[in-house]
Every structure is written in structure tokens, then in C-alpha cells.
Amino acid sequence: MINKYIAEYSEDFKYEFSENLNYEICGIIAKVDVWEYNSNYNHREKAHVLLEKGDLKYECDCFDRHRWDNMFYPLNMNGNEYLLFRKTLYGFTLLNTDTLTETYDYFPEIVLNGEESFIIVDAKMLGDVIIFDGCYWACPYVCIAYDPQTELFVNLSDEYGITNDETIINGDILVWRGMNGNHEKKEITVTTDEIQRLLRRQGKSLSFL
């Protein structure tokens, strides 16, 4: 599925080298070579990513717009460290930082049919749940809770009626600031237990995200 998306994104566009980025994250050296295509009505980006940790190496190509200097989100799950990142505008990949191997690679098939899907712009852990900040295309920003064990998600913005300005993890509590439907500022605190109850009661399959 992802190969079809990448082929359509790259086909017949002449990319030119833009920049090389080198930085360290979680003891891993990241080397990112970025190419761009620009015209009056179109801007496209792609990059080759090389991660190195001692003798270990991981390589992949990433497409569509990213924050190339800040594209990895460190997560700790069940005592193991991972990097979460996007290979395209949609979906996400989990990479084990000890072995530099993929443990999960998700791409939403619905985008191949011209539908929009969720775009992750931040990810953080709340207990055993991943909290995604992002949007469906440009706006509004929303907050999604995802359980990697069950592969179920719930749109917290829909449940609590606010869009997303800021999410802060404070122990097992999510402090969440945003705007309600009347454009009034609102702050909500949600516990891990409350989110798990929501996921059990009305969690949806990841394929719809």
C-alpha cells in the first residue's frame, strides 16, 4: 500500500538536493538527506534517513512534508525505548532503539482512495497509551489516544468537545488545553484510567484513523 502512495508522490517530479541534517537522539546518530521539488503551485519533499548506533544501522526513505530536524518522537513502552516517526504524511512507524528494527509499521489504506487521514505532529506516552497531537489536513488540531496493545484509538477532541492547543503529561494525568465549540478557552484533566475506559467502551480500529 505504502509503495503505491510513494510511487504516485514521486513520479515525474524532478527533485533537487536541499540539505543534509545530522543530529543525535536517544544515543542514535541520525543522518537525513533532504530533496525538494518546487513549482509555482506545488512543493514536494522527500528524504533518505540513516540511523546508526554502534554497528547497527537502519535506513528508509520518507516522503511528504516533515520537520526533518525533529521528526522522531521517543517513547518508552513496557520498559523498552522506541522512536515513533512518519514515513509519509500519514501513518507511523515504531523503531526499537536497542535493535534499530521496526516493531510496527502502519499506513492508512483509505488515503489511496482519496480520503483524508490523521497527520501526527507530536506523540507522547500517558501510561500505556500513546497520545497523538495532530490534524486532518491543516486544522483544527485534535488529540487522539491510541492503545498499542489493542490497536484501538479514540478521538478525545470529539469526546470532550474541544480542539487542541496544548497537551501536557503530568504523571498519569493528561492536562489538555484548547477551545470549545463556542471558541471559549477550556482546560480538561483526563486520567489514564478514564482513557482506558473510553478505549474499551468505544475504541475504533486503527484502520479508520
* SS (HEC) of 138-160: CCCEEEEEEECCCCEEEEHHHHH
Residues near 72 by beta carbon (within 8 Å), at least 6 away in sequence: 25, 26, 30, 83, 84, 85
- pLDDT higher than threshold 80 for residue 187: yes
In this predicted model, which residue has the larger pLDDT, 104 or 111? 104
pLDDT at 166: 84
What's the pLDDT at 151?
Answer: 94
Name the least confident of 23-32, 80-89, 161-170.
Answer: 161-170
- Confidence at residue 209, expressed as pLDDT on a 0 to 100 scale: 83
Distance CA(2)–CA(140), nearest Å, equals 26
pLDDT over 90 (residue 147): yes
Strand partners, 125: 130
Q: Is the link from the previous residue into 140 a cis peptide, with omega within 30 of 0?
A: yes
Q: What is the pTM of this model?
A: 0.91
Q: What is the CA angle 45-46-51, rounded to 5?
A: 140
pLDDT beyond 80 at 138: no
Amino acid at residue number 118: F
Q: Within a 13 Å sphere around the CA of 157, how many CA atoms are in the beta-carbon half? A: 23
Chain-wide mean pLDDT for the chain? Answer: 91
Q: What is the mean pLDDT of residues 138-146?
A: 87
What cell was used for 175? 492536562
- CA 95, 189, 171 angle in degrees (round to 5)? 50
Average pLDDT over residues 51-70: 94
pLDDT band at 207 (very low <50, low <70, confident <90, very high): confident
In this prediction, residues 44-58 reach a mean pLDDT of 96
What average pLDDT does this structure show over 178-192?
Answer: 84
Asked if pLDDT for residue 55 goes beyond 80, the answer is yes
Q: Is the pLDDT of residue 160 over 80?
A: yes
C-alpha cell at 171: 504523571
**Residue in the block written with cell 527533485:** 15
Percentage of residues of the chain with pLDDT beyond 90: 64
Q: For position 20, what pLDDT does the model report?
A: 97
